[in-house]
Amino acid sequence: MDLHLSRIRVDRPRPAFRERYCGIISDGCGDVVDCGFCNGTAVCGGAGVANVCGCLPESCEQLSVECGPTTDNCGNALDCGDPCPAPESCGGGGVVNVCGVPGTGPFDLSGVVGCEGVFNPSQILDYHLTLPAGDWSAVLADDPATDPEVARQAQFHCNDEPPILVSIHRKRGGGTTKVGLKIDINAVVANQTYYGLKNLVLDNSVGCCEASDGDAGDMLREYLAWQMMRLSGTVSSRFVFVNLYVNGELLGVIGNVEAVDKVFLDDRFADDSGWLYKKSGGPGDGLKTHESDGLAGADPYDDYFCFWSSSGGGPDTCATPADVAATLSEHLMLDQMLRFGAVNAMVANSDSPIFKDNNYYYYDWPGTRAYLPWDLDTCMKDLNTSVFDAGSSKFVSVLFPTWEDDYDQILTALLSEPLTLAAIHQELDRVLAVTGAAISADPFLSASPADEIESLKTYWATRHAAVTAQVQGH
């Protein structure tokens, strides 16, 4: 009898493959197979599945990350928070994910004396510009309401240093003779820097487009606002006073505010490859990096913020995402934003966040978006401005529903530690000691610096108590 033998298919487990499995595993037939070790940084069972190679997430401590957003070594977002004690902030010293004091990064221009101490508030330097009289007249005549375009070459030097060749143009703003100026260090001499800086910004604290050549009270208020930003741990520019001479003639005291440019970005974030935007309500607003390299519209970090009107300087193009409470911290440097807003609220700066969508820079980069203060010249004129009731600002409508308690905690901490009334008065005493004589000698300032300082002390005695009461009652 013929027997027809048909083939019977038996499904058996396939052998384990090294690119997926690891360790000792059953072959499904009663034996075991040694699948060996994982390749690269993968760990056997690292993803929580036995005998499967996977990434083993690491904590902030294991990664030696002090603060801020990073990844867990497996590509997942990891928030290490901001445990930095004021005046330190995360990345403030120029190293990402490391606590540091803003302005003490690759070059510290605040803690040294002489001309190298460009931003040392405990001294006043003499800055000299020399250029043909006709060129200076052309700079003065440039329309301050527009983004000034008249640039002229000049010799610049500090104290008795040798001069260097620079380009100057008028800063948008007020003034007739003592006007705000921007000094471009490397516009004429390629790659030239001044103690590592490529730009100097001289600010007379006069709004656009007033004819006044300055008011001592306004100048001192702006000085104090910048110092309070610095003391709070906010990543911000530095501000000091200098004496300005043009063609040997003393024009008087003027503010030297640190430019927000690639040098600043590299100092604060150790990264200048991102997209920097400015918002101040003027024709010079918009993108400040990648303007001419073909990457102007290639900001990959801006897509998430389509619901935020400041994005790219344009209007909202989408609704606020439903999961904003869970996702915003992955895209925005929240502590910086809240701290920046808290100081603006304390100094009653009605022309800046959190009260108004104006006067700031923001930086999109491989870290989270950072908002940076600018133009602190509308401060300390109201005693009772609420630090919580900020109207319809997008900053408030997006942030307060989830992070108002965090904002409250930041205000509470600032009032009790770096921004006590005593600390504010100490800053006022310092600027009077350092700059008082120069203000008195200023040909365009008539007020007594001592009287202006006393007026500010009186203001802050009331304002500090009012803010404290608002926070305690919140």
Residue 294 contacts by C-beta under 8 Å, 6 or more apart in sequence?
none
Written as six digits, the tokens of 346 are: 């304390």
341-363 confidence digits (pLDDT tens): 999 999 999 888 888 888 999 99
Only one residue has tokens 């009772």, namely 384
pLDDT value of residue 254: 98
pLDDT value of residue 15: 38
CA atoms 354, 173, 302, 329: torsion sign: negative
Written as six digits, the tokens of 71 are: 């990844």
Q: 3-state DSSP call for residue 29?
A: coil
Beta bridge mates, 391? none
* Residue from 269, 109, 122, 129 nearest 202 by CA: 129
**Which segments of the chain have a pLDDT < 70?**
1-20, 39-41, 73, 75, 86-87, 91-96, 101-107, 147, 309-314, 390-392
pLDDT value of residue 10: 37
Distances in whole angstroms, Cα of residue 218 to Cα of each of 119, 255, 391, 410: 20, 11, 25, 27
DSSP string, 33-75: EE--PPSTT-EETTTSSTTBEE-----HHHHT--SSEEE-SSS
159-215 confidence digits (pLDDT tens): 999 999 999 999 888 888 999 999 999 999 999 999 999 999 999 988 877 778 889
pLDDT value of residue 457: 98
Domain boundaries, the chain: 79-472
**Spatial separation of the C-alpha atoms in residues 247 and 214, rounded to whole Å:** 20
pLDDT value of residue 314: 62
- Residue 134: what are its φ and ψ, rounded to 5°? -65, -35
**Spatial separation of the C-alpha atoms in residues 64 and 46, rounded to whole Å:** 20
The upper half-sphere exposure of residue 425, i.e. CA atoms within 13 Å in the direction of its Cβ, equals 13
Structural contact between residues 106 and 196, judged by C-beta atoms closer than 8 angstroms: yes
Residue 81 contacts by C-beta under 8 Å, 6 or more apart in sequence?
60, 67, 68
Written as six digits, the tokens of 55 are: 């990434």
Q: Which amino acid is at 57?
A: P
Q: If DSSP states are collapsed to H, E and C, what string results for 237-295?
A: CCEEEEEEEECCEEEEEEEEECCCCHHHHHHHHCCCCCEEEEECCCCCCEECCCCCCCC
259-292 confidence digits (pLDDT tens): 999 999 999 998 999 999 999 887 788 899 998 8
> How many other C-beta atoms are found inside a 10 Å radius of the C-beta of residue 170?
24
pTM: 0.79
* Distant-in-sequence contacts of 111-114, Cβ < 8 A, 24+ apart: 114/159
